[in-house]
Amino acid sequence: MTSMINKFLDPYFEEYQKLAFNKDLYRSLDSFKEIALAVKSQNGKLIFAGNGASAAISAHGAVDFTKQAKVRGITFNEADLITCYANDFGYENWIAEAIKSYADNHDAVVLTSVSGESQNAVNAAKVSKDMGLQVITFTGREESNSLKSIGDLNFWVDSHAYNIVECIHMIWMTTVIDAIVGNAVYEVS
């Protein structure tokens, strides 16, 4: 049994090591930190959105940017908001329409989609760009995905494994939070 586990776990965790901890990523992580700090200094907010697990990652990001990094963050995970906007504007447009309703001039939008092809995220990116907002994307799968092609700052995981991509997105997002705080270990204040 142990050798079977090792045959799975060794290459599985090697994927994380190879994909998540590449030093070429450092500049992008620092750029996200600088965007977040600029948003904060202009009294703006980070607007997070995604579908499914990406919505959960977005919610985690919004809460921890707000509480830990002191950069206001919001997300649109309320069922009443989603169903209202989806009913009135179509599911493919609900995030875009919510951004139109909630975004202010000095905000930035953080969109997460493993495939980078979720039409509601792609449409949200287009609307955000039209509004003059910076767009940060977290995607995976194909490098030439639609969402990544619209973003100003893009975090792309070269993998088709949903759980690996989603977990790396979370690692990268929370790394920026800790970089703003200045420590990996700190007390909640």
- Helix runs in the chain, H state only: 2-20, 26-41, 53-67, 79-89, 94-102, 119-130, 146-150, 162-181
Q: How far is CA 107 from CA 89, 136, 156, in A?
A: 23, 11, 22
The distance in angstroms from the start CA to the end CA of the chain is: 45
Any domain includes 128: yes
Any domain includes 12: no
The mean pLDDT of the chain is: 95
Q: Specify the pLDDT at position 99.
A: 98
Any domain includes 10: no
Q: Specify the pLDDT at position 186.
A: 77
pLDDT confidence bin for 120, thresholds 50/70/90: very high
Where is mean pLDDT largest: 4-8, 16-20, 135-139? 135-139
pLDDT tens-digit readout, 29-60:
999 999 999 999 999 999 999 999 999 999 99
Q: What is the strand order of the sheet 46-50 is part of?
A: 73-75, 46-50, 108-113, 134-139, 153-156
Any domain includes 168: yes
Q: Specify the pLDDT at position 185.
A: 85
Q: Specify the pLDDT at position 36.
A: 98
Any domain includes 131: yes
Domain that holds residue 143: 25-181
Helix (H, G, I), strand (E, B) or coil at 144: coil
CATH number of the domain within which 55 lies: 3.40.50.10490
Q: Specify the pLDDT at position 117.
A: 97
Percent of the chain with pLDDT over 70: 98
Average pLDDT over residues 114-141: 98
Any domain includes 91: yes
Q: What is the DSSP string of 30-47?
A: HHHHHHHHHHHHTT--EE
Average pLDDT over residues 109-125: 97
31-35, 66-70, 99-103, 180-184: which has the minimum mean pLDDT?
A: 180-184
Q: Specify the pLDDT at position 1.
A: 55
Say if CB 108 and CB 133 are below 8 A apart.
Answer: yes
> Shortest CA distance to 36 belongs to which of 178, 189, 168?
178
Q: Specify the pLDDT at position 189.
A: 61
Percent of the chain with pLDDT over 90: 90
Any domain includes 11: no
The encoded tokens of residue 17 equal 């090591």
How many domains does the structure of the chain reveal?
A: 1
Any domain includes 87: yes
